[in-house]
Amino acid sequence: MSKFIDRPRYTCALGGALIALRALPRTIPIIHASSGCGFNVSNATTAGAGYLGGGYCGGTSASSTNVVEREIVFGGEERLAEQIQTTLEIIDGDLYVVITGCMVEMIGDDISVSTNKFAAAGVPVLPIPTPSFRGTSYEGYDMLLSGLFRLYTTKGRQHRKNRVNLWGLPPGQDIFYKGNLTEFRRLLGRIGLDAYTFFGEGEPLSNLQNAADASLNIILSDTYGLKSAEVFEEVHGTPWISVPLPIGASQTANFLRTVAQALKIPDAEVEQVIAEEDARYYDYMERLADIYNDADLQRYAVITGDANYAPSVARFVSDDLGWVPRLVVITDSLEPDDTESRATLLARFEGWESDIRPEVRFDTDASAVVKYLPEAWEPNHNERYYNSLTPLVLIGSVFERDLAIKLNAPLLTLSFPATNRVILNQAYAGYNGGLTFMADLFSALLVGR
């Protein structure tokens, strides 16, 4: 049985789907749920994702059936059909997607009955159930993508050699999703690949429609988006690989090699690109070599984040920045029997260049992080000479602020929720993201200068 969660770092399936829809161009959500569901999750994500905002038709603009007791008793399919009709009348979009909240799922509404009435509407109206008692925002993202790949992506297209799709960064939960996607499109472009990421800068909806012409799907995650990759393969026959989110030069070079290998791109071509990217990257990193060494900016680190960020951030600060991560808390809501995901994630902490091995814990609770500190570092037993866990930097979410104040350590927020900063086009992944991350991290140490 799953347990209660102390301050969840995600919303629900409906929330994940809604924010993903907000991230698609001219895509109109139609929420079939109680009146507060959309409002609640939008407000959570608007603030928590570094002020993502409502966008074209999210936030309080989102169409919603706002079902009340009458529909709960008599069924909500008629109300939904009415709402679809009026939404099409008022809201100007290219794709309409019905998503659901818990109540209408519990009473057994079949939303496809309602959407089928609009088969001749001239624009697609798709039914994608997203009951929130079946998962968090991460699952909602996966449910939405699975639905879109089944219902929206055109079937039977010829696979093209240099076309790939890339996903696995849930919008909002990954507060840097858009900047990151831009960076990966750039990098894949450098090795001759045309990547569709669906949620990236300036990407049209046709990228989602034409997604089946890809010859490979790249899932930038060990855990998110895997189910939709399976659905994609089942429906469109496209193979997929899952790779960890690469942050900084070393991880990103490996990412490029993995992709090149899967697509049989000649080594020489890829190594040439890596050499150029490395040169550019280290030209910037070199700037820090003075202050890093003059001021001894090596730090211990405690890292809290989701399954995408926590392992990659820890490895980045260890293997690229030469820091000493001591504790990593992975905050996903994993089923207790999900040993496979845990094993995959734990393996990401092996084989580091630095030979450092932080303590890794899986815990959903915001109050848990502090409890693992004594396991990661010997507490002070009132010794005369105590080797303390200082100087320390916390990398996590805004939930770690109280701990940062208690430990008198700077905090850089990069995981959801991050209500204390604004994220626009920044990336924290890839080569460029590594540089931005580095700049923010060291800036946090130098605010007093």
- Footprint of other proteins on 347-366 (CB under 8 A): none
Question: CA 6 → CA 85, 255, 368, 392, 444, distances in Å?
Answer: 40, 35, 9, 25, 28
Q: Which of 25, 50, 59, 325 binds other proteins (CB under 8 A)?
A: 59
CB-CB contact of 31 with 101 (8 Å): yes
Cα separation of 76 and 228, whole Å?
28
Total residues at interface with other proteins (CB under 8 A)? 76
Give the interface segment with other proteins, choosing from 144-152, 175-183, 398-406, 425-433 (CB under 8 A): 398-406
Q: Which is nearer to other proteins, 55 or 248 (CB)?
A: 55
| 86-124 b/e (C-beta count within 10 Å ≥ 16 → b) | ebbeebebebbbbbbbbbbbeeebebeebbeebeeeeeb
Q: Residue 166: how many CB atoms within 10 A of its CB?
A: 25
Helices 13-22 and 137-151, packing angle to 10 deg = 60
Chain centroid to Cα 345, Å, comes to: 15
Cα separation of 360 and 342, whole Å?
10
Q: Which of 20, 21, 23, 65 binds other proteins (CB under 8 A)?
A: 65
Tokens of 349: 């902490």
Q: Which of 25, 50, 93, 430 binds other proteins (CB under 8 A)?
A: 93
Asked whether position 269 contacts other proteins by CB under 8 A, the answer is no
Asked whether position 5 contacts other proteins by CB under 8 A, the answer is yes
Q: Which is nearer to other proteins, 204 or 322 (CB)?
A: 204
Complete DSSP assignment for 311-350: HHHHHIIIIIT--EEEEEEE-----TT-HHHHHHHHHTTS
Give the interface segment with other proteins, choosing from 156-164, 189-197, 198-206, 397-405 (CB under 8 A): 397-405
Q: Which of 356, 402, 439, 445 binds other proteins (CB under 8 A)?
A: 402
Cβ of residue 110: shortest distance to other proteins, in angstroms?
18
Give the interface segment with other proteins, choosing from 32-40, 184-192, 211-219, 387-395 (CB under 8 A): 32-40
Cβ of residue 402: shortest distance to other proteins, in angstroms?
6
Tokens of 13: 């399936």
Q: Which is nearer to other proteins, 92 or 276 (CB)?
A: 92
Q: Which of 19, 21, 95, 102 binds other proteins (CB under 8 A)?
A: 102
Q: What are phi and psi of 117, to 5 degrees?
A: -65, -15
Cβ of residue 397: shortest distance to other proteins, in angstroms?
9
Q: Which is nearer to other proteins, 86 or 388 (CB)?
A: 86
For strand 194-196 and strand 240-242, is the pairing parallel, antiparallel, or unpaired? unpaired
Q: Which is nearer to other proteins, 269 or 375 (CB)?
A: 375
Q: Which is nearer to other proteins, 244 or 410 (CB)?
A: 410
Q: Which is nearer to other proteins, 13 or 216 (CB)?
A: 13
Within residues 128-157, the interface with other proteins by CB under 8 A covers: 131-137
Asked whether position 89 contacts other proteins by CB under 8 A, the answer is yes
Asked whether position 11 contacts other proteins by CB under 8 A, the answer is yes
Q: Which of 147, 200, 417, 430 binds other proteins (CB under 8 A)?
A: 417
Cβ of residue 97: shortest distance to other proteins, in angstroms?
14
CB-CB contact of 172 with 49 (8 Å): yes
**Cis amide prior to 391 (ω within 30 degrees):** yes
Q: Which is nearer to other proteins, 45 or 426 (CB)?
A: 45
Tokens of 300: 């211990």
Question: CA 356 → CA 231, 310, 323, 324, distances in Å?
Answer: 38, 15, 9, 7
Q: Which is nearer to other proteins, 41 or 409 (CB)?
A: 41
Q: Which of 13, 99, 193, 394 binds other proteins (CB under 8 A)?
A: 13
Q: Which of 99, 339, 399, 439 binds other proteins (CB under 8 A)?
A: 399
CB-CB contact of 278 with 252 (8 Å): no
Reduce the DSSP state of residue 394 to 3 states and report it.
strand
Q: Residue 111 contacts by C-beta under 8 Å, 6 or more apart in sequence?
A: 32, 77, 80, 98, 100, 104, 127, 129
**Contacts with other proteins, 35-54, as mask; x by CB under 8 A:** xxxxxxxxxx-xxx----xx
Within residues 211-250, the interface with other proteins by CB under 8 A covers: none
Q: Which is nearer to other proteins, 29 or 358 (CB)?
A: 29
Q: Which is nearer to other proteins, 64 or 308 (CB)?
A: 64
**Contacts with other proteins, 105-124, as mask; x by CB under 8 A:** -x------------------
Reduce the DSSP state of residue 106 to 3 states and report it.
helix
Q: Which of 28, 249, 303, 328 binds other proteins (CB under 8 A)?
A: 28
Residue 384 one-letter amino acid: R
